[in-house]
Amino acid sequence: MHPERGIFPLPMSDSTRKIALSEALQERLSAPTAGQGGYQTFVREIQKRLQGDALAVDGPLIERIEHYAFDFGAGDWQQLLRDLLAEIESSSPRS
């Protein structure tokens, strides 16, 4: 496990919930994605889960987002996914 992943203590259930996204992140996620690489394919999968200003997420998707955000170095795609994780984390209910 990547040490930074500890900042996202999210329940990893298979149940889907909708996460409200900031307008800025909505725009970044909705932008056309060119290319056929792993990141581009994954971002297109995330785009299919966009529902207006919300994103439908579940535990397996969050785990994949973490994998792509932290296991491949730093770059624009990784930052996009880290920002997405931060919004998911901030919308999670506090115990």
Q: What is the pLDDT of residues 26-74, one digit of tens each?
A: 999 999 999 898 889 999 999 999 999 999 999 999 999 999 999 988 8
Question: What is each CA distance from 92 to 20, 44, 56, 61, in whole angstroms?
Answer: 11, 24, 13, 15
Give the residue with greater pLDDT, 9 vs 15: 15
For residue 65, the surrounding DSSP H or E stretch is: helix 59-70
Res 11: pLDDT: 52
Predicted confidence at residue 77, as pLDDT, reads: 87
For the chain, what are the domain ranges? 3-9+16-91
Predicted pLDDT of residue 8: 47
Strand partners, 20: 54
CA–CA distance, 57 with 67 (Å, rounded to integer): 15
Among candidate residues 81, 92, 88, 1, the one with its CA nearest the CA of residue 33: 81
